[in-house]
Amino acid sequence: MLYPFKFEPIIKDKIWGGQKLQQLLNKPTSSYEAGESWELSDVEGDTSVVSNGAMAGTSLKSLMELHTTDLLGHKNFKQFGTKFPLLIKFIDAKADLSVQLHPNDALAKERHNSFGKTEMWYVVQADSDSNLIVGFNQPMTKELYLEKLEAKTLESILNFDKVEAGDTYFIEVGRIHAIGAGVLLAEIQQTSDITYRVYDWDRVDSKGNHRELHNDIAIEAFDFDMPENFRVNYSHDSKGSTELVSCPYFTTNIVEVNSLISIENNHDSFMIYMCVEGSATFDVQGDLTELSKGQTVLIPASLKSFSISTNHAKLLEVYI
């Protein structure tokens, strides 16, 4: 019988990483440069492994091959086969990430045999005066962008948004962006690790080397006509579920739980819960799964009814 699955976090050290993944989310790392915790991944070479219950030690890939529609849902299996369509992360930026963008499905398929990388961010914690870079601060053309890039004045046209916990952003393919220093966030995205880095603050690694830039191929990935509606404006009271983002690749809601709630899965899809505040207990036909801040659980599509109980928790609820 399938049950709610938790997975071993895959920790990625980064030049810009820090210690919040361990200190605030209790991740198993002592690194001073832990930048990402991949919570749920089917990226080649980084496949998640179950950490709880009777199937502990089983890879996500094996789960999909063994249980197909029961795990994924019929429509997801028809569309994606045994390729899990989402990559779920927590990201800690002690320093600014590179300024970057991602290709759309068509370009990613042609160049990398990959999905594109539509994604969203939910800010879990932010130091005072922390920023995200999303989009430009003025109408943009290819010509003006290249002029600023060549003149090394790219920063002058970037949009810097000051952020705090709870702020949410939808990062469509073709949009320039970067996570700023001091921000800890949850990221939900298509299963893709394709990033085009266009500016890296002229920094070098411990050996004095600059990281590779991708300006020659990135220019074709830009969508300069994209409307500047990247910040998600939502009104959320102290209880219940509020939609944050809904797109063809995923739907994400913020769910605040302060007692006991019952969930009916009518989506023909798996459901993912990321705990961003507090802790909660999931009850599936008497099978209890504990979820604390910084943890993620995958509810198979075949588990249609379950409950969540807690004194207080905020959860990101994700499905297709």
- pLDDT band of residue 204 (cuts 50, 70, 90) is confident
Q: What is the pTM for the complete model shown?
A: 0.95
Which residues does 33 contact at the CB level (< 8 Å), separation at least 6? 13, 14, 15, 16, 17, 18, 94
Structure token pair of residue 200 = 């890296």
As a whole number of angstroms, the distance between CA 287 and CA 268 comes to 21
φ/ψ of 79, rounded to 5, equals -85, -40
For 119-176, the pLDDT digits (tens) are: 999 999 999 999 999 999 999 999 999 999 999 999 999 999 999 999 999 999 999 9
pLDDT of residue 175: 95
pLDDT score recorded for residue 225: 87
With 80 as the cut, is the pLDDT of residue 238 above it?
no
Catalytic choice (111, 197, 203, 211): 197
Question: Which letter does DSSP use for residue 211 in this model?
Answer: P
Confirm whether 211 is a catalytic residue: no
Q: What is the mean pLDDT of residues 208-222?
A: 90
**pLDDT, tens only, 17-63:** 999 999 999 999 999 999 999 999 999 999 999 999 999 999 999 99
Give the pLDDT band (50/70/90) at residue 208. Answer: confident
Delineate the domains of the chain, giving CATH numbers in brackets: 10-221 (2.60.120.10), 240-319 (2.60.120.10)
Is residue 35 within 8 Å of residue 16, measured between CB atoms? yes
- For residue 71, what is the enclosing H or E element? helix 60-72
The whole-chain average pLDDT of the chain stands at 94
- Degrees, nearest 5: CA angle 268-271-274: 165
Alpha-carbon span 112 to 261, nearest angstrom: 43
- Report pLDDT for 211: 87
